């Protein structure tokens, strides 16, 4: 399958990601309904759009998506790949979300996990197949010399595979996750480490959300034949990985190629958020939330996917500690926790979801009174309600164990009506930019988090407003459209 294909496509700019900008549902009458997704990548790509010869290649994820592919229904500028459901499940649930996600977020509970056995090898074969399907589709669609921006840990092998098929392309890879420290990355079987690096370093440019993750990546490349990491090119130019070949006869080294390392910190989209957060459905939800919170009470808000790395349970335990330590806060504060379903095909995510519910119920039965529900937990995804909570929040709790960036930390200060104190994990990528005006927490330290919540609740109103302003400015420094263009331009400008 890997014989070079001619430059046959017309797309000048291509994006590849597992989840695309649109999904389909089959209605009761058999018709297909398209639902456009949100998020940074979607608004980023709209800066280019199909008219400018841009194409987004993504997976069909649902039965509706697969049906759309079968019926030939689609949007301009989007190509969905109907990868067999079992191959996709192994690649997405098995390798991407249960192995790579765990490694980069340091989620394994050793000594029981991980176990790299025959089942892992079977799933890995699917991951290869799934990546190859993307590489082949991209090779087919790309115009001569086009720029291809491959997204995330689902598609680590695509750059290497695509380079073999189409050496004329400019290929970038962007990681939206953290990158594992070398000791953690080294848990992966050796050949898999090499395979992942070979895949990624097939790109001209490998980019991350912060220098912390980029440096971790460089540290993992160190010592891996046949690469050599350059902290900085001469004259302060970007960091790079050199691809070195040794002549077997003379033993002399030759540099065949360089992969540059880039950092682009995705920011919040202020214009969109301001407009969207003042629409009538958000106002309605604010009224409902005010009822749930109760007049005069302060709100500690969190909004997350129910994701292991988001640390929702320790957040609840910290809130309980706060109530234990400060009886004067009883009846005066509410923890508004939105924990939206995520990756429910995986048992560990289902168990975590149940644990979040259990701890919230426990706190409510321990402390609740007829007129006060200490934890208001919502688990049904509702973006308008999230925005309503951002506007009302007195305190935002963002305490991930580890996070590539965390856009909630960036969105809250932008949307907040009257200023919101931000309690922020130092392990979130966003901490690099927001740390100065946030209250920092060690995400594992429940008592420390409780103390930070108290500090946030008692922060003088003026200081809170001032900090929120500065946080909003830092959070919007590189909005999605610019973030996307910056990467694209860097890739195009790069010397081969
Ligand atoms: O953080 C990495 C990421 O791929 C994000 O881009 C995205 O928000 C999240 O994970 C979603 O994961 P999934 O597609 O599994 O729901």
Tell which one of 130, 149, 152 to mutate to probe ligand 1, the residue whose CB is within 8 A of the most ligand atoms.
152
Atom of ligand 1 nearest to the CA of 39: 8
Give 232's pLDDT tier (boundaries 50, 70, 90).
Answer: low
343 lines ligand 1 (CB under 6 A): yes
Ligand 1 lined by 177 (C-beta under 6 Å): yes
Angle between helices 383-392 and 407-415 (to 10 degrees): 60
> What is the position in ligand 1's atom list of the atom closest to the CA of 154?
4
Task: Answer whether residue 432 shows pLDDT above 70.
Answer: yes
Encode 314-344: b = buried (16+ Cβ within 10 Å), e = exposed.
bbbbbbbbbbeebeebebebbbbbbbbebbe
Determine which of 70-84, 229-243, 280-294 has the lowest per-residue pLDDT on average.
Answer: 229-243
What average pLDDT does range 355-369 have in this prediction?
A: 98
What confidence score (pLDDT) does residue 262 get? 94
pLDDT for the residue numbered 6 = 52
User: What phi and psi values does residue 309 have, to the nearest 5 degrees?
Assistant: -75, -15
Q: Does residue 326 have its Cβ closer than 6 Å to ligand 1?
A: no
The alpha carbon of 329 and the centre of ligand 1 are apart by a number of angstroms equal to: 36
pTM of this prediction?
Answer: 0.95
Per-residue pLDDT of 284-300, as tens digits, reads 999 999 999 999 999 99
Q: Residue 2 has what pLDDT? A: 42
ipTM: 0.96
Q: Can you give the pLDDT at residue 7?
A: 63
Q: Kindly state the average pLDDT of the residues 456-481.
A: 97
Residue 182: CB partners within 8 Å, gap ≥ 6?
216, 219, 220, 222
Q: Is 176 in the pocket of ligand 1 (CB under 6 A)?
A: yes
Going by pLDDT thresholds of 50, 70 and 90, the confidence category of residue 1 is very low
> Per the structure block, which two tokens stand in for 426?
């130092």
Residue 306 CA to ligand 1 center (angstroms) comes to 12
φ/ψ of 41, rounded to 5, equals -65, -40
Indicate the pLDDT class of residue 224, thresholds 50, 70 and 90. confident
**What is the predicted pLDDT for the residue at 233?**
65
Does the Cβ of 19 fall within 6 Å of ligand 1?
Answer: yes
Average the pLDDT over each of 244-258, 330-344, 474-488 and give the range with the smallest value: 244-258
Average pLDDT of every residue of the chain: 94
Query: Distance between CA 383 and CA 389 in Å, rounded?
Result: 10
Q: What is the CA(428)–ligand 1 centre distance, in A?
A: 15
Average pLDDT rounded to a whole number, residues 309-327: 98
What is the DSSP secondary-structure string of 165-232? H-TTSEEEEE--S----HHHHTTS-HHHHHHHHHHHTTSSEEEESSHHHHHHHHHHHTT-TTEEEESS
Q: Is the pLDDT of residue 152 over 90?
A: yes
Q: How many Cα atoms are found within 13 Å in the side-chain-facing hemisphere of 282?
A: 19
Measured in angstroms, how far is the CA atom of residue 20 from the centroid of ligand 1?
11
Lowest-pLDDT range of 26-30, 55-59, 224-228, 308-312: 224-228
- Rounded to a whole number, what is the distance in angstroms from the first to the last CA of the chain? 26
- pLDDT exceeds 80 at position 47: no
The string of DSSP codes covering 326-386 is: -GGGTTTEEEEEEEE---TTSHHHHHHHHHHHHHHHHHHHHH-BTTB-SEEEE-S--HHHH
> Looking at the chain, how many residues does it have?
496
Residue 225's pLDDT is what?
79
What is d(CA 118, CA 129) in angstroms, rounded to the nearest whole number?
17
Ligand 1 proximity of 404 Cβ (cutoff 6 Å): yes
Better-scored residue on pLDDT, 215 or 225 = 215
The residue nearest atom 8 of ligand 1, judged by CA position, is: 39
Mean pLDDT of 52-59: 92
Q: Which range is least confidently modeled, 31-45, 280-294, 423-437?
A: 31-45
């Amino acid at each position: 399958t890997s014989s070079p294909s001619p430059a046959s496509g017309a797309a000048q700019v291509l994006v590849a990601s597992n989840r695309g900008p649109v999904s389909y549902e089959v209605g009761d009458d058999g018709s297909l309904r398209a639902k456009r997704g949100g998020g940074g990548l979607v608004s980023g790509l709209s800066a280019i759009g199909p008219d400018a010869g841009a194409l987004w290649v993504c997976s069909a994820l649902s039965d509706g998506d697969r049906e759309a592919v079968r019926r030939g229904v689609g949007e301009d500028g989007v190509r969905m790949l109907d990868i067999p459901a079992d191959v996709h499940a192994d690649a997405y649930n098995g390798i991407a979300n249960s192995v790579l996600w765990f490694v980069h977020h340091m989620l394994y509970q050793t000594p029981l996990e991980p176990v790299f056995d025959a089942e892992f090898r079977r799933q890995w074969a699917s991951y290869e197949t799934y990546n190859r399907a993307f590489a082949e589709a991209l090779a087919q669609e790309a115009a001569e010399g086009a720029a291809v921006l491959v997204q995330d840990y689902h598609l680590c092998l695509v750059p290497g595979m695509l380079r073999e098929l189409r050496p004329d392309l400019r290929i970038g890879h962007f990681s939206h996750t953290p990158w594992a420290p070398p000791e953690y990355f080294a848990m992966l079987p050796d050949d898999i480490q090499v395979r992942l690096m070979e895949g990624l370093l097939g790109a001209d440019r490998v980019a991350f959300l912060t220098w912390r993750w980029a440096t971790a990546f460089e540290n993992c490349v160190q010592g891996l034949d046949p690469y050599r990491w350059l902290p900085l090119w001469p004259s302060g130019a970007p960091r790079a990985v050199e691809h070195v070949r040794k002549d077997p006869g003379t033993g002399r080294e030759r540099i065949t190629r360089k992969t540059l390392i880039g950092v682009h910190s995705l920011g919040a989209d202020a214009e969109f958020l301001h407009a969207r957060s003042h629409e009538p459905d958000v106002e309605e939800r604010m009224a409902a939330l005010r009822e749930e919170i109760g007049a005069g009470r302060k709100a500690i808000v969190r909004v997350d996917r129910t994701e292991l790395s988001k640390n929702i349970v320790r957040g609840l335990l910290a809130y309980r500690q706060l109530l234990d330590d400060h009886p004067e806060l009883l009846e005066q504060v509410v923890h508004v926790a939105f924990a939206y379903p995520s990756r429910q095909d995986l048992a560990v995510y289902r168990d975590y979801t149940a644990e979040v519910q259990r701890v919230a119920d426990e706190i409510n039965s321990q402390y609740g009174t007829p007129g006060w529900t200490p934890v208001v937990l919502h688990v049904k995804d509702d973006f308008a309600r999230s925005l309503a909570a951002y506007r009302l929040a007195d305190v935002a709790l963002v305490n991930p164990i580890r996070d590539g960036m965390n856009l909630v930390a960036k969105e809250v200060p932008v949307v907040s009506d009257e200023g919101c104190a931000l309690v922020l994990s130092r392990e979130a990528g966003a901490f690099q930019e927001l740390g100065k005006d946030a209250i920092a927490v060690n995400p594992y330290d429940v008592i420390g988090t409780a103390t930070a919540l108290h500090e946030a609740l008692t922060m003088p109103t003026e200081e809170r407003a001032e900090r929120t302003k500065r946080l909003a400015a830092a959070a919007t420094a590189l909005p999605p459209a610019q973030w996307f263009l910056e990467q694209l331009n860097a890739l195009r400008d790069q010397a081969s």
